[in-house]
Copies of this chain bind each other. A is one copy, B any other.
């Protein structure tokens, strides 16, 4: 398993380089290099040799409990992966690489046509993947299951169906209030100062820079090559201070999870995160529950002023807190507030269902996208760059990923509530810049377990109950009451 992990992490390294430092002309061969690594890792993992090894280990009574768990999860992964041939995986990897570059070009040129053909080809490969993997009820279920084991259309329809009216009611309430001023966020923030602020921020929040680094990329992401080398990226817009700041804290949350996984389980399931939604719970907990709290800025506003003395000279923590939590329907998912964010997810979820079932074609995506934004958020999409080309996910073939963001927010609220209860004076600690107790609690209750437990099981262990969206609604209502008086 170690050698297979080495191949997978080498592929990850090539991808990290591709999105950070690779010179433009390096792209042509890079896709093929990544595809070879992916194909060989897949072939080795799904080989008869792996099968025989796992079959032997499944009946080996001398294994420890954690070894048994590793074998059991490997067996699950093997049976899932085994349904795809190495050739299919290589083909998919190549198609993804091509789509990714097409998406970058299309987004830069604001020209959906540059992406359409590759996207349609990728969708068809994902449909084929769903067929190969098999599913009940809806082909999209086969893909959802990759990001969140056991997740289904039926379950998500119910979840989002319950959530939507509550969010709509909250939205209507805040929309008739007086809006806090956000003027001080709309200034010029030089690139170098933003980078140094972003680095100072993640270091203050316990990012181990001996085991990671932060770089610039088109789309922020976290990537790991083992628990001692977990890297994050960010993007900088000099006209936008918020985008970079909370993207940094978001990726930091992912990175803290990866840096907290047991290094000795390298290449094995127990060395991996529980699930994508649990991963998102960690990024969103730091980004929102911590990084958009009043207490956090009571402590960090002075540090922020050191980096931007002019821009934040007159700003008080409460005004800052209100400004960064303003709720307003907007175009860009990653810049959305904590409430309307979930409409962005629901839009993508509905579109993905249709794209994968085949009832929607890539060519009709822009129109469907724009209609959905009008219908759910009441806003007109001015161009594709700020519309259906804004996210990298589809160019990566990540259909089924978006719902984990909403699940993550809900897990985050519930986990943060449990941590607050356990720690007692967490808000006061955060206001004093003491976030180590929170990290310690997360390390103990979430990180160290790796994939030992699924999301639901881990949620019960850490919080005492299964996922309950009411925690999130309560958290949001409480925050918006403060923000809007």
Contact = CB atoms under 8 A, between A and B. Distances in A.
Contacts of A72: none
A229 B10 contact: no
B225 A33 contact: yes
Interface string A390-418: 00000000000000000000000000000
A33 B14 contact: no
A212 B22 CA distance: 8
A40 B6 CA distance: 11
A266 B29 CA distance: 9
A325 to B, nearest CB: 34
B23 A210 contact: yes
Interface string A227-238: 011010000000
Given A10-B10, A13-B17, A30 B213 contact: no
A13 B18 CA distance: 11
Interface in A207-253: 208-213, 215, 225-226, 228-229, 231
A424 interface: no
Contacts of A211: 23-26
Interface size bracket, A side: 35 or more
Q: Which of A17, A209, A215 has the most CB of B within 10 A?
A: A17
Contact of A225 (B10, B26, B225): B26
A266 B28 CA distance: 12
A282 interface: no
A3 interface: yes
Q: Copies of this chain, how many?
A: 2
Contacts of A215: 21
B29 A10 contact: no
Contacts of A266: 29
A255 to B, nearest CB: 11
Interface in A172-220: 208-213, 215
Interface in A5-56: 6-7, 9-11, 13-14, 17, 21-26, 28-30, 32-33, 36-37, 40
A2 interface: yes
Contact of A36 (B7, B208, B209, B213): B7
B6 A37 contact: yes
Contact of A30 (B2, B32, B208, B229): B229
A225 B266 CA distance: 27
Contacts of A29: 9, 225-226, 228-229, 266
Given A28-B228, A228-B28, A9 B23 contact: no
B36 A6 contact: yes
Nearest to A11: B10
A26 B259 CA distance: 11
Q: Which of A13, A14, A21 has the most CB of B within 10 A?
A: A13
B213 A21 contact: yes
B225 A24 contact: no
Nearest to A208: B25
A339 B23 CA distance: 37
Nearest to A3: B36
Contacts of A2: 32, 36
Contacts of A28: 226, 228
A23 B213 contact: yes
A37 B7 CA distance: 7
A209 B6 contact: no
Given A13-B13, A21-B21, 12 more contacts: A7-B37, A9-B29, A10-B11, A21-B215, A23-B213, A23-B228, A24-B210, A25-B228, A26-B211, A26-B225, A28-B228, A29-B229
Top 4 A-B pairs ranked by shortest CB distance?
Answer: A26-B229, A6-B36, A25-B228, A25-B211
25 contacts: A3-B36, A3-B40, A6-B37, A7-B40, A9-B33, A10-B10, A10-B11, A10-B14, A13-B17, A21-B215, A22-B229, A23-B209, A23-B211, A23-B212, A23-B229, A24-B210, A24-B211, A25-B211, A25-B228, A25-B229, A26-B225, A26-B226, A26-B228, A29-B226, A30-B225
